[in-house]
Chains A and B, each alone.
Chain A
Amino acid sequence: EVQLVESGGGLVKPGGSLRLSCAASGFTFSNAWMSWVRQAPGKGLEWVGRIKSKTDGGTTDYAAPVKGRFTISRDDSKNTLYLQMNSLKTEDTAVYYCTTEAVAVASPVFDYWGQGTLVTVSS
């Protein structure tokens, strides 16, 4: 059974930093492309960014609102995905979901999701 468990959310002041983690199990993590998707309170889904498998180059792509501030990385030895968030703004307040890409289906879609972790940016 695929499981994705996010952690690291919490309250942080504007301009601060936070690192989220996503522990993965139930599939071959090292082969998987992974994404982060967020959802502001009462709002819709917003893609944050993705990291490809090392086999496919390990490169990252980011949404414009977070580019240059957020960094996605992975530790395949720990089956863990990370999201380093710097220079946080109030508009970054959201539930952050860790998702797999193309694990269940061979297509660029978000096929498995974690339960999410809440990040609140407020003074």
Chain B
Amino acid sequence: QSALTQPASVSGSPGQSITISCTGTSSDVGGYNYVSWYQQHPGKAPKLMIYEVSNRPSGVSNRFSGSKSGNTASLTISGLQAEDEADYYCSSYTSSSTFRFGGGTKLTVL
């Protein structure tokens, strides 16, 4: 089972907004509202940033938001800050009772 499709890299300047897309199929992203997003800094474990498409866990900045349309989910980071530079992964529950991750997107803050 291949990974969900994410852009390999995105970049933005401090204060700007960026959006990362995550494309799957009707058997995962399009079929369930169980899309989540994870932030991973180099050498660290991933951290949950968004769950159920658009919900933020306690403690996560409201600069992070999520949405979904059809088979594509998106993560938007507004007011970009230097500490947002990291790898971002989407994940979706699937109709096979398994999980698929995206290939990951490297965010560079210019």
Contacts and interface: CB of A to CB of B under 8 A. Distances in A.
**Bind each other:** yes
Interface stretch (B13-21, B45-53, B72-80): B45-53
Nearest to A97: B45
Contacts of B103: 44
Interface of B: 1, 3, 34, 36, 38, 40, 45-48, 51-52, 55, 57-58, 89, 91, 93, 97-104
A85 B44 CA distance: 24
A104 interface: yes
Interface of A: 35, 37, 44-47, 61-64, 97, 104-105, 107-111, 113-116
Contacts of B104: 44-45
Contacts of B97: 61
B96 to A, nearest CB: 8
Given A108-B93, A109-B91, A116-B45, A46 B57 contact: no
Interface centre among B47, B55, B99, B102 (most CB of A within 10 A): B99
Contacts of B99: 35, 47, 108
Given A44-B104, A109-B91, A113-B46, 7 more contacts: A44-B102, A45-B101, A47-B100, A61-B97, A63-B98, A97-B45, A116-B45
Contacts of A61: 97-98
B47 A105 contact: no
B57 A111 contact: yes
Given A44-B104, A63-B98, A105 B51 contact: yes
Contacts of B98: 47, 61-63
Contacts of B45: 97, 113-116
A63 B97 CA distance: 10
